[in-house]
Amino acid sequence: MSDCRTCKHNTYRDLKDCKFVSCGHPITLAKTPKYESGDPAWVNAMTADMKISEMFSYDMLECPTWEALS
């Protein structure tokens, strides 16, 4: 399956029975807000893990940056 669950950039890929995915692709990380005290965008970025059961409601199944673990 070529979606977030098996992508080498999923930071939760190796966690047994994990029900979430988290994109650690360099482009995604570059877009992450930088820490600033009290910044709600930072809080949102740090809590934006997606439940696997919800990922199919997004257009994530055709991710152009999906990469297999080498």
Instruction: Tell me if 9 is assigned to some domain.
Output: yes
Burial class (CB in 10 A: 0-12, 13-18, 19+), 48: exposed
Q: Is residue 32 part of a domain?
A: yes
Q: State which residues form the domain around 45.
A: 1-60
41 occurs within a structural domain: yes
Question: What integer best gives the mean pLDDT of the chain?
Answer: 84
Least confident of 3-7, 41-45, 56-60: 56-60
Which residue type does 18 have?
C
The 10 Å CB-count burial string (b at 16+, else e) for 1-11 is: eebbeebebbb
Measured CA angle at 16 (ends 25, 59), to 5 deg:
40
Q: Is residue 1 part of a domain?
A: yes
Count of domains for the chain: 1
Answer for the pair 32, 45: CB distance below 8 angstroms, yes or no.
Answer: yes
Please tell me the pTM assigned to this model: 0.72
Q: Is the pLDDT of residue 62 over 90?
A: no
